[in-house]
Structure 1
Amino acid sequence: MAAVTPKELVMVLDCADREALADFWSQALGYRVTRTTPPYTALTDPEGRGPELLLQQVPEPKRGKNRMHLDLRVPAMEPALSRVVALGARVLRGPFDDAGCPTTVLADPEGNEFCLIVFESA
């Protein structure tokens, strides 16, 4: 199998309110809502570099820790941390040093975990 391109890779995030999460994640990622067909809302990178994020509305609530989460690489923890918190994220842990990379673990408005990570190449 050949390498997957960003257009072929789709990340799916289960949620209770896809419209509210579409607002949060589109602003957090700089993505735009490109299509909505219940129970799905698709968010895509306007520059076509990142994978699609598909929000899937499901009836069951989130339980426990995510088995997979998003890491957002940022050039500096601030102002990125303040920006996502202002959008509705909440800090779960950090900031702390993780193998030389400043990291903060957060949750989106529905409790899905994600990280902000400072990488020199970001």
Structure 2
Amino acid sequence: MRLAVVLDCTDAPALVPFWSAALGYTHVASVPGFEVLAAGDEPGSPTFLLQQVAEPRVGKNRMHLDVHPPLDLGVPALVARLEALGGRRLGEPVTGLLEDLGIWWQTMADPEGNELDVVADPGHPPVGAS
């Protein structure tokens, strides 16, 4: 079985830099109506498609992606990189749910408002640490 994640967006080409950075994926193709991102040398990783649609997103996402940056990058650096690419933070970092396990996250939105969480796994510095 193969998995592809498809995100509807009104300007697919404009979202390529944001989602490439968020996922650590490479833009591999532009085909009519789609921009295709792939993990490269990670077999079994899902393909990520940005699908061009006419209508904008309305309401809260029913599903979102959790992005887990590697320890050498970290959550604050990835959040800053995504903000530089037009993303924005949605509220403060979430720390109360799984903090006992060393897990916290920052909810963000891409330039079109699609939501994702940038997640700090155990081993990442606690929220607010530099």
* Same fold? TM cut 0.5: yes
Match of 1:27 in 2: 21
Q: Is the 8 A contact 1:94 1:103 kept in 2?
A: no
Q: 1:14 aligns with which of 8, 16, 20?
A: 8
Q: Hey, what does 1:94 align to over in structure 2?
A: 92
Aligned to 1:73: 68
For residues 98-109 of structure 1, the aligned pairs below 5 Å read: 98-100=97-99, 101-109=103-111
Structure-2 residue corresponding to 1:53: 48
Gaps of 5+ in 2: 125-130
Instruction: From the two aligned structures, give the one with the greater strand fraction.
Output: 1
- How far residue 117 of structure 1 moved from its aligned partner, in angstroms, is 0.9
Alignment RMSD = 1.7
Counterpart-to-counterpart distance in 2, 1:38 and 1:93: 36
CA distance in 1, matches of 2:77, 2:63: 25
Could you list the runs of 5+ residues in structure 1 that have no partner in the other structure? none
> How far has the Cα of 1:121 moved from its partner?
6.5
Count of aligned residue pairs for this structure pair = 116
Percent of residue pairs identical: 41
Larger displacement relative to structure 2 (57-66 or 94-103): 94-103
Helix, strand or coil at the partner of 1:111: coil
State the one-letter code of the partner of 1:88: G
Q: Given residue 111 of structure 1, which amino acid in structure 2 is its aligned partner?
A: G
Stretch moving more, 8-17 or 36-45: 36-45
